[in-house]
Amino acid sequence: MSDEKLQKVLARAGLGSRREMERAIADGRVTVDGKKASLGDRVTEDARVSVDGRPIKLTAPDSVRGRVLIYNKPDNEICSRKDPEGRRSVFESLPRARGERWISVGRLDFTTSGLLLFTTDGELANKLMHPSSVIEREYLCRVMGQAKEENLQALVDGVLLDDGVARFTDIVDGGGEGINHWFYVVIMEGRNREVRRLWESQGLQVNRLKRVRYGNIFLPPKLKAGQWMELPADEVNKVYEMAGLAPVAKSKLPKKQDTKPRGKAVRVRGRKPR
């Protein structure tokens, strides 16, 4: 029986992302076989692990996979669980995870809407967010100003931002009239405000931004802002494959998963152009 890093095992158990589990270990909240754990500890499946005094059931890498949700984030929701300013959190709209917790795969800015993935598997979330996974993120942007050909070429060639060179791997004209114009753009990373900062480097402003795709997962047209939808077993396996993790037989996944849009729909302006 092989051993694994403690934070990796805890993440797979659905307690949070690897980074969150590393913080929990550093804060002294985790014990292994009755002793306080340390960063760097490795454990096997038969170890007795507790977090905040609560025993944790460890799972093997090839055991039942986590659940995956698609959420259509409205404008003006935060991606943190709590906010000192009292703003609404995306987690308030999600269903209960039955003894686990939902982990956000990346974040969207407060004023950015669209596709957010959530999973109960912290290891899956970590793989999907890691730069080595090289997963495309596609956004629909409404840009204010005149985007000339040289601007678009510069954005594809690469622009030096404060945190390094960034670029769009693809730009597609989405139409529009007057001062505002729509574009579909693709990035390979998820840096803070990356899409907006790229356009700003060309003297242009983004006044609407919506994520419509994450890898091979598209935002379903029937999923209204503020609603969520759980992926069925075969789609969950595709998400694991996208993250570079081995899929699991359907028999090991929950028999029923909710593929109908759920949650309270929230009206937002700036819909996809028709």
- Active-site residue list: 109
Q: How far is the C-alpha of 12 from the C-alpha of 153, rounded, in Å?
A: 42
The residue among 210, 136, 142, 217 whose CA lies nearest residue 175 is: 142
Tokens of residue 114, six digits? 């669209």
Alpha-carbon torsion, ordered 172, 194, 180, 77, to 10 deg:
120
For residue 198, the tally of other CB atoms under 10 A from its CB is 23
Tokens 């598209």 locate to 218
Tell me if 200 sits within 8 A of 193, measured CB to CB.
no
Q: How far is the C-alpha of 22 from the C-alpha of 122, rounded, in Å?
A: 12
Tell me if 201 sits within 8 A of 225, measured CB to CB.
no
The residue among 123, 175, 117, 140 whose CA lies nearest residue 17 is: 123
Radius of gyration of the chain (CA): 20
Kindly tell me the burial class for residue 246, based on how many C-beta atoms sit within 10 Å of its own C-beta (0-12, 13-18, 19 or more).
exposed
Q: Inter-axis angle of helices 233-242 and 122-129, to 10 degrees?
A: 50
Tokens of residue 220, six digits? 């379903």
Tell me if 135 sits within 8 A of 242, measured CB to CB.
yes
